[in-house]
Amino acid sequence: MILLNPRHHSRKYPDARSTEVMKKTIEFFERKGKIRLENDYYAHGWYADFLEFVAKERIFATMATPAGVLPAGKGAPDARWDTWRICEFAEILGFFGLQYWYTYQVSVLGLGPIWQSKNEALRQRTARLLAEGAIFAFGLSEKEHGADIYSTSMSLEPQADGTYRANGRKYYIGNANKAAIVSTFGKIQGTGEYVFFAVDSQHPKFECVKNTVASQNYVAEYALHDYPVTEADLLERGQEAWDAALNTINIGKYNLGWASIGMCTHALYEAIDHASGRRLYNMAVTDFGHVRQMFVDAYSRLVAMKLFALRAADYMRSATADDRRYLLYNPMVKMKVTTQGEEVMNLLWDVIAAKGFERDMFFAQAAIDIRALPKLEGTVHVNIALIVKFMPSFFFFPAELPEVPRRDDAANDDFLFHQGPAKGLSKIRFADYKRAFAGFDLPNVKLFLEQAELFKAMLASAPPTEAQQKDIDFLLAGGELFALVVYAQLILENAKIYGLENALVDQIFDFLVRDFSKVALGLHQKPSSTEAQMKHCLGMLRKPAGDPARYEAVWSEVLALCGAYQMNP
């Protein structure tokens, strides 16, 4: 089964340490138990016990230290930056609670500028701190400017002795209450040159102002007051600092999709158990047709989320300076997978209704926390605006590129920390997306391909006008249609790799056809859409092909999840 089940975690890894990390992490949460997990969540208690476990077992050190930073035997065993195993680790953390995923995630972001830096002494110090159980933070956003790094007001003032004094504030910075190193972005006073530098959250010139959220997480506002900085504390300057900010987000935002996948999987187990054991009007809740439809949709969407995110990892791991397709697929995981997570949760909540509010359900916290993920590290709108830059080359300039294999090998993902300048997106080339559709003689897959081709025809014959290209509302609707085509492509690529049954593949495309029609109708209704564009949009509307046998086959997969997992109380 493609979904995570902590009770029967038998996934094969290429090395024993990876198996140990996953199993020990699951054991920590199961040993802690659901009641303590929930009590800590509602009391907003700092997760010191989790961080003690991480330190003792050197979990973050194994997962977040690139290979070769420290000599063998000096750091964590089998340490490497391995996106494939990071996927599952992030999924496991999300499965048991977003707060545990979050402290790992913001450490990943804090480590990004360090692992990209040429400051070897600081890199080695960081690896030693990780082995000791330290956590990290990413000091980028500011209260007045958000993540608009052009406008950062944090400044380094050069001193006569060659050192600097840092002054300024950062806002919404996870882990900044305890981080051993906060990678902080600012400008050098006088020159305006961008800079990343390392600060210690426990230094007397570092003021942790407050926690900005009511949560187990500590999402800090912090201030530096004449904080002393030397050349040894500098990570990157100038263009390299700018690139480090964007490239770090490229590395880190991918994990948001996995947190969503983990939470939705746990919620699905709870929802099917509740519904199957409840009777209304002398019927099991799962006997109601609309309930079955919601479960089939939720399950199909969740499997699709995981297929897409796993395939995107293959492209990230295979990336080179000449193949940067991951820069399209990565924001898609952040944007599309997390919004699909909200959709899955909405469907399940409509099934279990008031039960979803109860304190003793994991669902109650997941239903709240799932909303955060599309809004972190660039909103959905920001990420759609990013991916539309790839649309011309994706549709109209396909290249002959080798197929990317499944990348579950025990390799260090070196390129992610040598991405180079964060530019030239429109020049990135893609293989013909229709190649993924070959070999699928399924009615809904064919219907979706028709819709995709009609959208491409609209772009060719009735492209956005100059005014529409400045109309963000119009641009976002077109970007959503493009995103659906990209989403479908990688789902099909991975359906082949993982040998997914045709019934489930076609049921996934049942909702994709519906989603495409819905967005096309929305584009038709935009105030600025032209007559030609409106005609094309109406032509894209399709009704998915029904098949009772296919539907029942997928429903039987959902029903088989009854009793498959309950967390240790």
Please identify, among 114, 134, 154, the residue that sits at the C-terminal boundary of a domain: 134
pLDDT tens, residue by residue, 549-559: 999 999 999 99
pTM of the predicted structure, to 2 decimals: 0.96
pLDDT tens, residue by residue, 10-41: 888 899 999 999 999 999 999 999 999 999 99
Per-residue pLDDT for 263 more than 80?
yes
Res 264: pLDDT: 98
pLDDT confidence of 533, banded at 50, 70, 90?
Answer: very high
Joined tokens for residue 295: 């479960």
Judge whether 420 lies within some domain: no
* CATH number of the domain where residue 380 is located: 1.20.140.10
Number of domains in the chain: 3
Judge whether 344 lies within some domain: yes
Judgement on whether residues 205 and 307 belong to the same structural domain of the protein: no
Please identify, among 227, 244, 261, the residue that sits at the C-terminal boundary of a domain: 244
Domain that holds residue 144: 138-244
Judge whether 145 lies within some domain: yes
Judge whether 300 lies within some domain: yes
β-strand partners of 223: 169, 207
Average pLDDT over residues 241-270: 95
Judgement on whether residues 461 and 482 belong to the same structural domain of the protein: yes
pLDDT tens, residue by residue, 155-177: 999 999 999 999 999 999 999 99
Judgement on whether residues 464 and 329 belong to the same structural domain of the protein: yes
H or E element in which residue 169 lies: strand 164-174
Judgement on whether residues 514 and 446 belong to the same structural domain of the protein: yes
Judge whether 197 lies within some domain: yes
- Phi, psi dihedrals of residue 530, rounded to the nearest 5°: -85, 170
pLDDT confidence of 77, banded at 50, 70, 90?
Answer: confident
Judgement on whether residues 354 and 205 belong to the same structural domain of the protein: no
pLDDT confidence of 422, banded at 50, 70, 90?
Answer: confident
Judgement on whether residues 121 and 258 belong to the same structural domain of the protein: no
* CATH number of the domain where residue 236 is located: 2.40.110.10
- Contact present, 83 and 317 (Cβ < 8 Å): yes
297-336 residues labelled b (16+ CB within 10 A) or e (exposed): bbbbbbbbbbbbbbbbbbbbbbbeeebbbbbbbbbbbbbb
**Dist. CA 487–CA 307, nearest whole Å:** 10
**Dist. CA 495–CA 111, nearest whole Å:** 33
Res 439: pLDDT: 87
- Contact present, 299 and 222 (Cβ < 8 Å): no
* CATH number of the domain where residue 74 is located: 1.10.540.10
Average pLDDT of every residue of the chain: 95
Res 378: pLDDT: 63
Judgement on whether residues 476 and 536 belong to the same structural domain of the protein: yes
**Dist. CA 458–CA 453, nearest whole Å:** 9
**Dist. CA 99–CA 497, nearest whole Å:** 32
pLDDT tens, residue by residue, 219-244: 999 999 999 999 999 999 999 999 99
Judge whether 147 lies within some domain: yes
pLDDT confidence of 377, banded at 50, 70, 90?
Answer: low
Judgement on whether residues 49 and 78 belong to the same structural domain of the protein: yes
Judgement on whether residues 438 and 545 belong to the same structural domain of the protein: yes
Judgement on whether residues 375 and 504 belong to the same structural domain of the protein: yes
Judge whether 436 lies within some domain: yes
Please identify, among 214, 244, 274, the residue that sits at the C-terminal boundary of a domain: 244
pLDDT tens, residue by residue, 135-158: 999 999 999 988 788 889 999 999
Judgement on whether residues 10 and 115 belong to the same structural domain of the protein: yes
What is the SS3 string spanning 47-101?
CHHHHHHHHHHCHHHHHHCCCCCCCCCCCCCCCCCCHHHHHHHHHHHHHHCHHHH
Judge whether 411 lies within some domain: no
Judgement on whether residues 204 and 305 belong to the same structural domain of the protein: no
